[in-house]
Structure 1
Amino acid sequence: MHCFPDICYKSKVCDLTDEIDILSSFAGQAFGQCENKIMKEDLLKILNLTYRLMGKLRDNCDFVKEDKLMLKEIKNRYDKKGKKIRKHLFILPQGGLLAGNLHICRALSKKISRMFSKAKSEIAFEACEIEESLNMFSDIFYNMALCINYENNVEEIPVVLIPKRK
């Protein structure tokens, strides 16, 4: 218990930081699988950022506006690429191992954003920068997965939507 004194807390913030840790683990796995130099550097920046976010949530460590700006820069880079290659509005999360891990990161990011909304009442500091940063993760990971599949000539598989009955 010495390493993780908060492990016994009945706290939404503790649960939130646990989920961010899981996200970090999958992002780290994606980092290890990635051969695209720029994306690999971006994943490393995101990994460092997730640990600063956890530190900020647990004990008010440093997380600064520059972190959010850096994440916004990464998001803009992949938004531009994603818009160029995206063919369908809704796609199935598929592809190779790297794309699969990035899709898991996307899904976990959405869960973390929802968890943060529920945990906000327990946070004793202004958490606007963190909330905005958490909301960017899902888009970044989604577009990274699109880019990896595009680089590997993996075709998007659109979700087949069933029309509503009248």
Structure 2
Amino acid sequence: MQIISPVDAVKVMAITILSYVAIVIILRASGKRTLSKMNAFDFIVTIALGSVLATTIVNYKSSFWNGILTFTMLVVCQHVATWLSVRFDAVSQLLKSEPALLYYDNTFQKKTMKKERVDKNELKQAIRKAGYISFQGVSAIILEADGSLTVMSDREKRNLKKSDFVFIDE
């Protein structure tokens, strides 16, 4: 095991600080979406940014500017993907998932639950987080595109029919 020299240690500390500052600036400039709840491509960009940051710090002898360029390009790719997905439905369908109705009107949507790999215990956890102790008073539970579960109470139902959930494929 080789011990790092004091000069190299200072380089690592400097690269770490500079990389941290650079990624904070780049992420702040990229907008709220980069830091919000994520869909698949947002998640990929976030993981890649973390990997690039770690590589830039650990491989301090490689160019700091390579890391900054890579950070910037990943964020640009994310912006291009979101720009395209907002303007073209085909791109949006490719990059984003649709919400899924998992529970409606006292009925578990078993086919959808199986497809989305969600079990009843996860729905029970969601209703507890929403302040319920049972499914009584719950009209619907939706798996959102970002992976979160939305619990709708009977008060929120407002005479909704299953067909009102426009994202449902019957």
* TM-score under structure 2 length normalisation: 0.29
Q: Higher helix fraction: Structure 1 or Structure 2? A: 1
Higher strand share: 2
Greater Cα radius of gyration, structure 1 or 2? 2
TM-score between both structures, scaled by the size of structure 1: 0.30
